[in-house]
Amino acid sequence: MSNGALDLRDVKGPSALGGGTRRAAELLYLLASTEFKRTYFGTVLGYLWSLCRPLLLFAVLLEVFTHVVRLGAHVRNYPVLLLLNIVLFGFFQESTNAAVPSIVSQEAVVRKTQFPRLVIPLAVVTTALFNLAINLIVVFAFVVVYGIAPTWTWLLLPIVVGAFLVLAAAVSMLVSSLYPRFRDTAIIWAVLSTALFYATPVLYPLQRLHGTFRTLVAMNPLTLPLELARRWVIDPHAPIDTTTVPVAVPAAIAFAVIAVAIWVFNREAPRIAEEL
Amino acid sequence: MQPAAGAETSAAPVVVEARNVAKTFRIPDRRIDSLKERLVHPLSRVHYRELRALRDVSFHVRKGEFFGVVGRNGSGKSTLLKILSSIYKADAGRVRIAGRLAPFIELGVGFNPELTSRENVVLNGVMMGLSRAEAQRRLDAVLEFAELESFADLKLKNYSSGMMVRLAFAVMVQADADTMLIDEVLAVGDAAFAQKCMDVFREKRAAGRTIVLVTHDMAAVQAFCDRAMLLHDGECLYLGDPEEAALRYYRLNFETPSTGKTQSGPVGVPDVNVRVLDAWIENRRGERVTNVEQAEPIGFNLLIEARQELLRPVFAFHFRDADGNEVFGFNRTLETADADKDRVGPGERVRIGGWIDNLLLPGRYFVDALVARNRTQGDWALHPVRLLDFVVYGTEPGFGHVSVRADVKATVEGGEASR
């Protein structure tokens, strides 16, 4: 061992990324990939099962909104749009809800090893991201079958996914670090995320909404990414509404959520082991 | 650099340093762990009980040292370990470490039963600070050490607990951190496993690794540690020679002054002739104790009251081990030369006391007593009564119950072969 390795360095206690970013990244990859493998290779039907949920939801909603409510009547390629929206929003909802108890369920690791706290909720989000990637393949299969011509704008979809990823990660950090102290975070977030489902243009494009509700939905940071996904993948002529609410508003809200999430997580991270 | 403490002899570089470390846990009297409760009682202040787990602890460990941290339950030693390993954050003070440090607070932390041992070993290696490539490279060595090569692709949930422990221990050994922080890992497993742990510690030490061991096991401290620290109520009571630390640890555990009416108090069966008023053991400082340090003389004291006349009484004492076997004993008669005065009248008290050489090895002992009157006729006044029980504590084990000085040597003499 070289003498250089013997320089004393301060131990500052547990933190979001304690132990270095590289180690955190490797742990993140390992945790997410093993979890992913476990779901998909554990059972033969593993992947089919996990695909069943969005597809069933899609089938029910499609039936309801094309025949009963006829919400999608005047929307081009409504069924494919609905499927894309469900898959994208499903990623956000699944990852954030799974993140809530993630730190508590990794209690042994948090209390007995040096473990970068941030890795735990992010691993949940990463696993969900792998799921999303596979689900998107199915979506594109539908898109092609439906007869939508491929365009170069399909290549822009990662931007939409990126926006969802960042917001899902931020919310996951927030709820997972609050959960050890406030156990009802789980219930509150389950209700909130369901409400958010309706406040996001998943079932209907923004253009079909009116009044204050439209303003509200337009302020949702998840709205613009979904609208962009629609234009880039499903319908190049779909309007992007930037007049109801200036783009700066949802952007500001998104940044506020991210800032609060980082602040709360950093504040809670050193104490989580003691709170469990 | 801090001044050398205790038996520290080496001038190797310091790899773990703690200066004035303090940690206080705030334990709420009533835990508010839901937002609802917060909202329902927005103004109610939560009252906390403060638990000072560590106060002003300073020490350092040099490279290659085997450093022991001992103390009773709740003395703060685990908290200290968790602060060193970045699991808890210290409230005050400064902790510095050099090189790669891996804590082993429990065997098999972070094992996922749903994964194969191959995947678990890599995951655990990374958790202990290896890079993924490095963890992959050491995989075979780990499986070989655990003797589990043929089960590498078996999910951990299908492992027996013995296999699991072997795997966990192999991961720990192969993690090969510069500094290992070990907390009571030795407590698990059977004697053979404990032996294996010891062998590994010896190897690690020989290989120049630094080890900090937190334990209750004084035998391990004496066998391995170069220096040891004794923690009590979050304070460092002693830092230095492991023998001395172990001895002080025993004293802390056993030398609690007796209040007179404790377990060690007189437990005499009511007898029509004699009543035991008090029986106790003192240490050299004249304090009543329930436990005696090895080789410290035993201050034996008994106060009895005769309920009727005892002519020419004899007092017999039997010291027995925990199984009831007699270790030694003695008789006493009244200190008088005058045959007429060799009697105790009704209501009169007899005090029996003095010092007993303590050759006893560590263990639990009992004192039974018999009082006879008319010793020529063998008329028992007091039935055998358990007067006392006490523990001898110490660090020198031996065979049997007593340590007898034996000036015996073994030497080699020329025999047939050397001619």
**Cα(B389)–Cα(B254) distance, rounded to whole angstroms?**
13
Residues B280 and B213 reside in one and the same domain: no
SS3 B3: coil
**Which string of DSSP letters, residue by residue, matches A17-63?**
TTT-HHHHHHHHHHHHHHHHHHHHHHSTTHHHHHHHHHHHHHHHHHH
**Cα(A244)–Cα(A250) distance, rounded to whole angstroms?**
11
Q: Is residue B148 part of a domain?
A: yes
Mean pLDDT of chain B: 80
Given a cut of 70, whether residue A176 has pLDDT beyond it is: yes
> Which residues sit opposite B231 in a β-bridge?
B71, B236
> Who's near A6: CB < 8 A, 6+ residues apart?
B13, B15, B63, B98, B99
Name, of A24-28, A169-173, B191-195, B379-383, the range with top average pLDDT: A169-173
Interface of B with A in 49-88 (CB under 8 A): 63, 82-88
| Encoded amino acid at B390, one letter | F
Residues B221 and B124 reside in one and the same domain: yes
Residues B295 and B215 reside in one and the same domain: no
Residues B47 and B143 reside in one and the same domain: yes
Q: Is residue A88 part of a domain?
A: yes
User: Per-residue pLDDT tens for A243-269?
Assistant: 888 999 999 999 999 999 999 999 988
Q: How many CB atoms lie within 10 A of CB B240?
A: 16
State the residue range of the domain holding A22: 16-269
Count contacts between A and B (CB, < 8 Å).
Answer: 119
CATH number for position B155: 3.40.50.300
Closest by CA to B363, choosing from B328, B326, B402, is B402
- Mean pLDDT of the region B72-84: 87
User: Per-residue pLDDT tens for B37-77?
Assistant: 777 766 666 677 788 889 989 999 998 899 999 988 888 88
Q: Is residue A7 part of a domain?
A: no
Closest by CA to B54, choosing from B67, B71, B40, B68, is B71
SS3 B370: strand
Radius of gyration of chain B, Cα coordinates, nearest whole angstrom: 29
CB contact under 8 A, B98 and A5: yes
Contacts of A30 in chain B (CB under 8 A): 122-123, 126, 132
Instruction: Enter the ipTM.
Output: 0.77
Q: What is the pLDDT of residue B126?
A: 86
- The answer to whether B92 faces chain A, any CB pair under 8 Å, is no
Total domains in chain A come to 1
Q: What is the pLDDT of residue B61?
A: 92
Token readout for A43 is 């059972």
CB contact under 8 A, B131 and A10: no
> Who's near B194: CB < 8 A, 6+ residues apart?
B186
Instruction: Check if the beta carbon of residue B215 is closer than 8 Å to that of residue B228.
Output: no
Q: Is residue B409 part of a domain?
A: no
SS3 B313: coil
DSSP count for chain B of H helices, then E strands: 8, 20
Q: Is residue A238 part of a domain?
A: yes
> Which residues sit opposite B380 in a β-bridge?
B372
Closest by CA to B63, choosing from B209, B239, B229, B212, is B209
CB contact under 8 A, A7 and B98: yes
Q: Which of B85, B89, B132 sits opposite A26 (nearest CB)?
A: B132
Residues B249 and B292 reside in one and the same domain: no
- Mean pLDDT of the region B261-280: 57
**Which string of DSSP letters, residue by residue, matches B236-262?**
EEEEE-HHHHHHHHHHHHH-PBP-SSS
CB contact under 8 A, B33 and A183: yes
Mean pLDDT of chain A: 86
Provide the phi-psi class of B99: left if phi over 0, else alpha when psi is between -120 and 50, else beta. left
How do B66-71 and B227-232 pair as beta strands?
A: parallel
Residues B132 and B163 reside in one and the same domain: yes
User: Per-residue pLDDT tens for A190-210?
Assistant: 999 999 999 999 888 888 888
Interface of B with A in 285-314 (CB under 8 A): none
Given a cut of 80, whether residue A67 has pLDDT beyond it is: no
Q: What is the largest CA-CA distance in chain A?
A: 75
Given a cut of 60, whether residue B419 has pLDDT beyond it is: no
Query: Measured between CA atoms, how close is B301 to chain A, in angstroms?
Result: 50
Residues B337 and B228 reside in one and the same domain: no
Q: Is residue A276 part of a domain?
A: no
CB contact under 8 A, A26 and B131: yes
CB contact under 8 A, B87 and A14: yes
**Cα(B135)–Cα(A73) distance, rounded to whole angstroms?**
57
> Rounded to whole angstroms, what are the CA distances from A73 to A237, A258, B124, B169, B350?
17, 37, 54, 64, 109
CB contact under 8 A, A182 and B13: no
Q: Is residue A230 part of a domain?
A: yes
Residues B105 and B220 reside in one and the same domain: yes
Residues B90 and B217 reside in one and the same domain: yes
Residues B387 and B318 reside in one and the same domain: yes
User: Per-residue pLDDT tens for B212-264?
Assistant: 988 877 777 887 889 999 999 889 999 999 888 888 887 777 665 544 333 43
Provide the phi-psi class of B172: left if phi over 0, else alpha when psi is between -120 and 50, else beta. alpha
Phi, psi of B288 (to 5 degrees): -70, 130
Name, of A45-54, A56-65, A121-130, the range with top average pLDDT: A121-130
Residues B238 and B278 reside in one and the same domain: no
Contacts of B78 in chain A (CB under 8 A): none
Q: Which of A13, A112, A271 sits opposite B109 (nearest CB)?
A: A112
CB contact under 8 A, A23 and B129: yes
User: Per-residue pLDDT tens for B133-167?
Assistant: 988 998 998 888 888 888 888 888 888 888 888 88
Interface of B with A in 104-133 (CB under 8 A): 105-106, 109-110, 112, 114-115, 119, 122-123, 126-129, 131-132
The last residue of a domain, from among B253, B288, B318: B253
How do B235-240 and B227-232 pair as beta strands?
A: antiparallel
User: Per-residue pLDDT tens for B94-113?
Assistant: 999 888 888 888 777 888 88
Q: Is residue A170 part of a domain?
A: yes
Residues B52 and B23 reside in one and the same domain: yes
Total domains in chain B come to 2
Token readout for A45 is 């039907």
Interface of B with A in 187-216 (CB under 8 A): 208
Q: Is residue B4 part of a domain?
A: no
Q: What is the pLDDT of residue A241?
A: 82
User: Per-residue pLDDT tens for A206-225?
Assistant: 888 888 899 999 999 999 99
State the residue range of the domain holding B22: 14-253
Instruction: Check if the beta carbon of residue B209 is closer than 8 Å to that of residue B199.
Output: no
Q: Is residue B340 part of a domain?
A: yes
